[in-house]
Amino acid sequence: MGCENRINCGRGYARDYEVFRPSFGKGQRIQRLGRCMAQLDTQRREIRRRTSARLMPSSAPHPCTEIGCPTLVAHGGKCEMHKRQATQRYDATRATPDARGYGRRWQQYSQAFRRAHPLCEQCLRDGRTTAAQCVDHIVPVQGPADPRFWEHGNHQALCNSCHSIKTATEDGGYGNR
Residues 104-148: tens digit of each pLDDT: 888 999 999 999 999 999 999 999 999 999 999 998 888 888 889
Reply yes or no on whether the pLDDT at 80 is more than 70: yes
Other CB atoms within a 10 A radius of the CB of residue 63 amount to: 13
The DSSP H or E segment spanning 72 is: strand 72-73
CA dihedral (49, 50, 51, 56) in degrees, to 10, reads 90
pTM for the full predicted model: 0.50
Between these two residues, 74 and 135, which has the higher pLDDT value?
135
If one compares 112 and 22, the residue with the highest pLDDT of the two is: 112
Domain limits of the chain?
A: 1-56, 58-94, 100-169
Render pLDDT for 4-21 as a digit per residue (tens, 0 to 9): 444 444 444 444 444 444
